[in-house]
């Protein structure tokens, strides 16, 4: 594991929008917050650009991200917001300098493309966490944003998760991988596809039909991505939809059924993903999970 250097006062966080467009008003609270932590902020050239729903053309968004990857003064890169667009630029990026001088890449949702790509190709940890757009108003809890600061500065994190009837008891330690289920499904067979063998998998999703959740879990199962896990952590399965003829199961029931034949621990309802209390997780980092009546998840900063 090639862990990027942790941040200290004066470290520079670059902000770019590799997916959906944003406004200065949406960015202002998050920028002010990161500056209040003692960090400096660098805004990408096309951060406030617009090309249909994107912050710029594919070429502009690629250029912005490449500049932050290559700038030796930038210690971390945080996405302005999610949406859709990362998959359109990931293969246009050159990670040569990043490989020599890794830095933290931060975001969730569409940023799953980056988390998965980094784990598949470089074994560099990244942070599944709130983006700048999430830091304004009441989009994310104070605790979740503070835990992002703690992870960036190298502090250990431990979470306690309430009991779920769909949990499966057990203990596991291993590398954490995953992210948004729909993106993991879309990346299947690509150069960013995950190897989950011997790993702890995290999944979450938003605004999907229940039968889509079932289809995606069946794909993970048929491709062997569920059989060799050390553990499974399920985040928010938010705002699920159903057909006029009900599917007949909740998202949690669908997931529990898909992994029922395996014996690793399962933690449901972990507070991460498209939820207000979007707690940060270190993708590619060492995680310890203990699932008893409730669950405990610890992020271990092993170098």
Residue 284 has pLDDT above 80, yes or no: yes
Q: Are residues 43 and 174 in the same domain?
A: no
Q: Are residues 86 and 57 in the same domain?
A: yes
Over the stretch 207-236, which tens digit does the pLDDT of each residue have?
999 999 999 999 999 999 999 999 999 999
35 found inside a domain: yes
6 found inside a domain: no
84 found inside a domain: yes
Task: Please count the structural domains in the chain.
Answer: 2
User: pLDDT band at residue 97, thresholds of 50, 70 and 90?
Assistant: very high
- Mean pLDDT computed over 252-271: 97
Q: Are residues 91 and 186 in the same domain?
A: no
Q: Are residues 202 and 279 in the same domain?
A: yes
Q: Are residues 254 and 178 in the same domain?
A: yes
Would you state the pLDDT for residue 302? 53
Q: Are residues 39 and 137 in the same domain?
A: yes
Phi, psi of 27 (to 5 degrees): -85, -25
Q: Are residues 163 and 260 in the same domain?
A: yes
Over the stretch 41-58, which tens digit does the pLDDT of each residue have?
999 999 999 999 999 999
3 found inside a domain: no
pTM: 0.96
The CATH number of the domain where 92 resides is what?
A: 3.40.50.10740
Percent of the chain with pLDDT over 90: 94
User: pLDDT band at residue 303, thresholds of 50, 70 and 90?
Assistant: very low
- Mean pLDDT computed over 7-36: 98
Domain residue limits at 211: 157-300
Q: Are residues 68 and 199 in the same domain?
A: no
């Amino acid at each position: 594991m090639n862990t990027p250097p942790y941040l200290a006062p004066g470290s520079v966080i670059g902000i770019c929008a590799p997916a959906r467009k944003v406004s200065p008003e949406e960015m202002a609270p998050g920028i002010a917050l990161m500056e209040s932590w003692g960090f400096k902020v660098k805004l990408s050239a096309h951060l406030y650009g617009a090309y249909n729903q994107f912050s710029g053309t594919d070429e502009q968004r690629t250029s912005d991200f490449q500049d932050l990857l290559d700038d030796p003064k930038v210690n971390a890169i945080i996405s302005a917001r999610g949406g859709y667009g990362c998959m359109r630029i990931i293969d246009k990026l050159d990670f040569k300098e990043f490989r020599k001088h890794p830095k933290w890449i931060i975001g969730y949702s569409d940023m799953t493309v980056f988390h998965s790509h980094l784990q598949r190709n470089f074994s560099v940890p990244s942070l599944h966490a709130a983006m700048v757009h999430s830091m304004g108003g009441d989009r994310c809890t104070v605790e979740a944003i503070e835990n992002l600061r703690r992870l960036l500065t190298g502090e250990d994190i431990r979470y306690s998760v309430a009991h779920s009837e769909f949990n499966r008891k057990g203990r596991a330690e291993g590398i954490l991988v995953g992210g948004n289920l729909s993106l993991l499904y879309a990346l299947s067979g690509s150069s960013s596809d995950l190897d989950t063998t011997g790993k702890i998998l995290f999944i979450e999703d938003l605004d999907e039909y229940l039968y889509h959740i079932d289809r995606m879990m069946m794909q993970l199962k048929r491709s062997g991505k569920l059989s060799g896990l050390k553990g499974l952590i399920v985040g928010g399965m938010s705002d699920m939809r159903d057909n006029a003829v009900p599917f007949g199961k909740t998202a949690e029931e669908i997931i529990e059924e898909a992994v029922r034949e395996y014996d690793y621990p399962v933690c449901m309802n972990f507070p991460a993903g498209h939820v207000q209390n979007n707690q940060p997780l270190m993708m590619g980092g060492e995680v310890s999970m203990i699932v008893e009546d409730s669950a405990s998840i610890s992020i271990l900063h092993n170098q």
